[in-house]
A and B are shown apart, each in its own frame.
Chain A
Amino acid sequence: MTLLPWRRKLHEDAPAASSFEDLALPLLPALYNLAFWLARNAHDAEDLVQETFLKALRGFSGFEEGTNFKAWIFRILRNTYLTSRSGLAAMRTVALEDELREQGESGQVLYPEGAIERQTPELNLIRLGDRAALQGAMEKLPPPLLEVVLLCDVEEMKYKEIATILEIPIGTVMSRIARARAFLRSELQANSMLSRDFRA
């Protein structure tokens, strides 16, 4: 095929097969959603996304084509959040894995996995249709548990991808998911009992 001179010129100067624009812009809604959940306000979420884009643009030449761009840019967003003022504060108040054992004041474990999951499942389904109640419960999740749930359930990422983004072992991803869901069930159940008492 013979190209016109101007088209040949453009063709020669064209970026690599997948441009940053093609890869990053479709992910903007998902990045913003995660940023807002983490930062908890629109202004910080916008800043977080913008900084993520800038960092990703600068580092795009080092991105290996054919590898997981989504995991790569989510990792940048997450690291950017961690180094932000709100991220530092959030992670300081709820420290990482060892302190996430949900110890009550008495030293008792608040969410013994088997116990909660084995309660009557019907009760645990209460008000799943009530999006406000579930969103309220998600807002109460400690950031390390919230981010794992968002990546797993909302972004439908595999455990391996989540482990890459959060820089933690897959086993830790699995235990955080289990704890996060137990927490959500517990919150929904408490919420449902409250509203039942209120109605009575």
Chain B
Amino acid sequence: MKMRVRQAINTALADEMRSDESVILMGEDVAVAGGPFKTSEGLLDEFGPLRVRDTPISEMAFTGAAVGAASMGLRPVAEIMFIEFLGVALDTVVTEAAKFRFLSGGRVTVPMTVRASVGSGLGFGMQHSQTLENWFSATPGLCLVTISDAQSAYSLTRAAIRHDGPVVVFEPRALYAVRGDVTTGDDAIATIGKAQIVRPGKDVTIVASGQTVGIAMAATAVAGIDAEIIDLSTIVPWDRTCVFESVARTGRLIVVEEGPASGGWGHEIVSSATSQLFSELKAAPFRICSPDVPVPYTPALEARYLPTSELVARQLGGYLATGNVPSPWWQTEKGMF
């Protein structure tokens, strides 16, 4: 069935709420208004105000409440309108939710899901356009998953809710309106920790996540390159088996990442693959990512923040032809601005 990403999330929430009474949804304007990005339309009508709750603008309170409710056996879903708003509730996610299992010798689990809209592309300015996986990624016990299309939105949302630990779901906001084919039902539920090979190929492995999956697909098509594209899906803990097997086959690795060059999750992939597969590599792995700047507002500059498919195609072509790692655009173009 064709649906938009926002409808796929909505459908996944409804399916989980139908199958398990312990699933509840909380967030700012998620109930009466159906969600600021319309990901929860109709849920209040079907499940009622005990299970679908509008909250005050109080992320610390309702995200913290999700930790407590999950500790008592509910499966709460807390919606954070923009990932930056989780800044005021970081303690509850990183220091409470992710630690309770360990703190309790495994007796208290926190099956909560935090969903947040993320990313650049809609002109929302520097405090509403980051992805911020790196705020969370060094947190053992906390799963991070990123949706990249309508199917993964459905499959990962259901998987996150069913997972017996805290999961943060990153929802690239620019994708909410994008349509795709979606298979619904229990068989479509994803497995947390499993990557997806979205395009098989033999010349190079491209690891992407969220918005960059589509960019990598477009770049490969443009450049006519036989790349194997992996949608990482779970950023933490990531699928080493899938990535390593692919890199062992292709001998080359590129990570395409939305986010500042410094401190990104892509470093993990590049450094682990390099250490693990050094002798099998035909060229040095590298990342194509954003420069180390806040997300600029004006459209022409914001468009340069996220790697474009043209840039990826160009860098990919040069890398395959020469075996050399291309410099990021902000170094090669430096003299021009």
A and B form one complex: no
